[in-house]
Amino acid sequence: MKYGAVIFDLFGTLAPSYSPDAYTAALGEVCLIIGADPAKFVPAWTSPEAVRRCMCGMPETLAVHIRDVGLRIGLDVPRSAAGEAESVLIEMTRSMLAPRADAIAALEALKERGLGLALMSDCSNEVPELWPDTPLAHFFDVPLFSCCVGMVKPELGFYRLALDHLNVPPDRCLYVGDRCDELIGARETGMLPILICPPEEESVIMARESARAWQGPRIASLTELISYVDQD
């Protein structure tokens, strides 16, 4: 068998992409709980600096991050309110961790073929806490989360860490994701990157210029991945 392992992205790949409407609604509820002006809090929360800090695990919890962002806009958020608001975001994330319809069958097929499986997710601290209770978790030999390792995609060290844990050379590893920057990182590490673009999310994915320009392999479902694995 040509390939010995597959590395997966999480949101937009194994599970559907975050719903913008659900995320907006959750942030609106957070603002109500902590008494923040959404016009100030949301831009501060979604700023590149704040997102990177959260993805790299610098605030220990979402509650701490909520209080940090509040201070940046001149709002001293009580710990109790931050904890209540944190619960809203955790429950939203929990709902987003439901696997794609074909994910379980595809993962079972890969495990039956003896492939090593790794996860690489750019995420904040609630995701690794919720991960063990998902139907996906037991398939994975190597679950890696940016907030735990202090790196985000497409930093090459993140990919190399996954490869080291899998103990496979990069040319024997596939990488599956929905964003071209992460796919380019995988390619630069020596893996074969594959863009997943399900029909129900095609309009969102193809709205990105980088996705429209992608010249590498592309699949519409996780089931299609099996054909790459079965290549001699």
Q: What is the band of 134 on the pLDDT scale with cuts at 50, 70, 90? A: very high
What pLDDT digit, counting tens, does each position of 79-130 carry? 999 999 999 999 999 999 999 999 999 999 999 999 999 999 999 999 999 9
Can you tell me the mean pLDDT for 11-37? Answer: 93
Whether 45 and 27 have beta carbons less than 8 Å apart is answered as yes
| pLDDT at residue 166, rounded to an integer | 96
Q: What is the band of 17 on the pLDDT scale with cuts at 50, 70, 90? A: confident
Query: What is the rounded CA–CA span in Å between residue 150 and residue 143?
Result: 14
| pLDDT at residue 203, rounded to an integer | 79
Can you tell me the mean pLDDT for 174-197? Answer: 95
Query: What is the rounded CA–CA span in Å between residue 82 and residue 72?
Result: 15
pLDDT score of 230 more than 90: no
| pLDDT at residue 193, rounded to an integer | 96
Which pTM was predicted? 0.93
Q: What is the band of 227 on the pLDDT scale with cuts at 50, 70, 90? A: confident
Distances (CA, A) of 204 to 126, 197, 207: 25, 9, 5
> How much of the chain, in percent, has pLDDT values that exceed 70?
100
Can you tell me the mean pLDDT for 2-17? Answer: 94
DSSP letters spanning 95-155: HHTPPPTTHHHHHHHHHHTT-EEEEEE---THHHHHGGGSTTGGG-SEEEEHHHHT--TT-
Distances (CA, A) of 19 to 92, 97, 113, 171, 201: 10, 12, 33, 34, 11
Query: 154: cis peptide before it, omega within 30°?
Result: yes
| pLDDT at residue 59, rounded to an integer | 77
| Joined tokens for residue 146 | 């940016």
Can you tell me the mean pLDDT for 15-33? Answer: 92
| pLDDT at residue 90, rounded to an integer | 96
pLDDT score of 27 more than 80: yes
Whether 120 and 142 have beta carbons less than 8 Å apart is answered as no
What pLDDT digit, counting tens, does each position of 175-184 carry? 999 999 999 9
Tokens 């997943």 sit on residue? 196
pLDDT score of 32 more than 90: yes
Can you tell me the mean pLDDT for 208-220? Answer: 86
Can you tell me the mean pLDDT for 39-45? Answer: 97
For the packed helices 48-55 and 62-72, what is the interaxial angle rounded to 10 degrees? Answer: 160
| pLDDT at residue 132, rounded to an integer | 97
